Amino acid sequence: MFQFRGTDENRPTLRYLETMVDFVNDDWTQADLDDEFPLGDGTAETETVVTCPHCGEMNEIALDPGSGEDQEYIEDCHVCCRPILMYVRYGRDGMADVEVYASDS
């Protein structure tokens, strides 16, 4: 990588920067990799429809399988705009189990 630093007679001076790489676990074993990234067919649910616990309307939501096997987050209802607490759990088959609760936060 580089960045321009000033100019000298309409010619930029290049300053090279170190590549920013963080290898916390650069000594992973194959068993570590298998535990962290289990094998599967590569398909996982990326969207679902939930019922708002506040107003009862259906909401289509996007799911992010890359955020982990167990997820918890808040998303606003697309109809009444009130917060919905969502718990998402992915099974080994890539299917998502989504639970929704009314949230006051």
By percentage, how much of the chain surpasses pLDDT 90? 41
Please provide the average confidence, as pLDDT, over all residues in the chain.
79
Residue 91 is encoded by which pair of tokens?
């099974």
- Cβ atoms of 15 and 29 within 8 Å: the answer is no
Sorted by sequence, the CB contacts under 8 Å of residue 5 that are 6+ apart come out as 12, 13, 14, 15
Domain ranges of the chain: 2-38+45-102
Q: With b meaning 16 or more CB within 10 Å and e meaning fewer, what string describes 43-73?
A: ebbeebebebebeeeebebebeeeeeeebee
Reply yes or no on whether the pLDDT at 41 is more than 50: yes
More confidently predicted of 44 and 48: 48
> What pLDDT, on a 0 to 100 scale, did the predictor assign at position 35?
74
Interval 71-100: pLDDT, tens: 999 999 999 999 999 999 988 888 899 999
Alpha helices in 1-105 (DSSP H): 30-36
